[in-house]
Amino acid sequence: YFWLLVLSRGLVGIGEASYSTIAPTIIGDLFTKNTRTLMLSVFYFAIPLGSGLGYITGSSVKQVAGDWHWALRVSPLLGMITGTLILIFVPAAKRGNVEQLGAQLKAQTSWLRDMKALIRNRSYVFSSLATSAVSFATGALGMWIPLYLHRAQVVQKTAETCSSQPCGTKDSLIFGAITCFTGFLGVITGAGATKWCRLKTQRADPLVCAVGMLGSAIFICLIFVAAKSSLVGAYICIFIGETLLFSNWAITADILMYVVIPTRRATAVALQSFTSHLLGDAGSPYLIGFISDLIRQSTKESPVWEFLSLGYALMLCPFVVVLGGMFFLATALFFLSDRAKAEQVNQLVIPPASVKV
């Protein structure tokens, strides 16, 4: 049945890629400026909310049913319900309609030309790399933090060693609840901070993202310091770190809407999503587990080293987050020029030779 599980997971990925690629562009066609930022914030809030509810629901259903298979049977029902609601209620907006570009965007460029234009768009490239760093951290922390906190309690002698998987059910519930709330708080805080900073500087979007990433890295580091002596302290650091980390999701999508013309946005979102998963959460959980096992092989078998080895491996996350912050700072350098190019192309049926699209 393993290959059937792999096939099912692949089909889920196709559905995820479809909606996550098209949905932001629909929002971009319906709203502009601060309203678009707000609506993207509402949309991207669903990611941490769903992740948090997934931790809570999955662990609860498994515990009630006594079988982890039942945790996988909740999502299909929810997917059918939401798919039906989208089919009935979501309007079919014309590309670039809200920006009054409908008549100018009838001519379609080739996929190859679109890809070349995106690769030459420095703001898009750097923000996509920064998004990959966010995905790397969220994927690794989501997979390993509950187990890490359980091992911390074993070392502190407030919990017994787990002899059967999955471990840390209570920690998964708490972590899921924190993820839900910090997702909401982070997205709203990021949108509000960006709206205020736009009054001060035109580079507000990438700068707010950079500050959020660099601040998040500090508190992610503190998780591993606090967990050695205080579980409450670790949860506080998780709360602040995730809030700052989640603050850039909607803003990153808004950056893309600013620097990419409407006819290329779906392709841009698709490429960004592919890149973020490929370089981010597709491999980060495995990499963290591999590093942890590698450290344990050179040490004696004990609960202390199980805890420390996983903590040392997870320390890779804040370094990747700092790298993501650097990418957002690089985005800020080119943001105004790339946005001006996109706006100039939007206003002209045939752009002048000086404008590279």
pLDDT per residue as tens digits for the range 276-302: 989 998 899 999 999 999 998 888 788
pLDDT reading at 75 higher than 80: no
CA–CA gap between residue 149 and residue 137 (Å, rounded): 17
55 vs 131 pLDDT, higher one? 131
pLDDT digits (tens, 9 = 90+) for 29-68: 777 777 777 788 778 777 777 776 777 787 778 778 777 7
| CATH architecture of the domain formed by 2-347 | Up-down Bundle (1.20)
148 vs 107 pLDDT, higher one? 148
Contacts of 184 (CB under 8 A, 6+ apart): 45, 48, 49
CA–CA gap between residue 335 and residue 339 (Å, rounded): 6
Token representation of residue 257: 């809407």
pLDDT reading at 85 higher than 80: yes
Q: Compute how many other C-beta atoms are within 10 angstroms of the C-beta atom of residue 231.
A: 18
107 vs 185 pLDDT, higher one? 185
3-state SS track over 281-298: CCCHHHHHHHHHHHHHHC
pLDDT digits (tens, 9 = 90+) for 189-239: 998 899 899 999 999 999 999 999 999 999 999 999 999 888 999 999 999
pLDDT reading at 269 higher than 60: yes
For residue 346, how many C-alpha atoms fall within 13 Å in the half-sphere facing its CB? Answer: 23
From the centroid of its chain, how far is CA 164?
Answer: 30
**What integer best gives the mean pLDDT of the chain?**
83
Are the C-beta atoms of 203 and 332 separated by less than 8 Å? yes
Looking at residue 326, its pLDDT comes to 97
CA–CA gap between residue 164 and residue 241 (Å, rounded): 30
132 vs 22 pLDDT, higher one? 132
- Measure CA of the first residue to CA of the last residue in the chain; give whole Å: 48
pLDDT digits (tens, 9 = 90+) for 251-260: 998 899 899 9
Are the C-beta atoms of 74 and 61 separated by less than 8 Å? yes
Specify the range with the lowest mean pLDDT, choosing from 76-85, 278-287, 347-356.
Answer: 347-356
pLDDT reading at 339 higher than 60: yes
The dihedrals phi and psi of 90, each to the nearest 5 degrees, come to -80, 125
Domain-wise residue ranges, the chain = 2-347
pTM greater than the 0.75 cutoff: yes
Of the pLDDT bands very low, low, confident and very high (cuts 50, 70, 90), residue 356 is very low
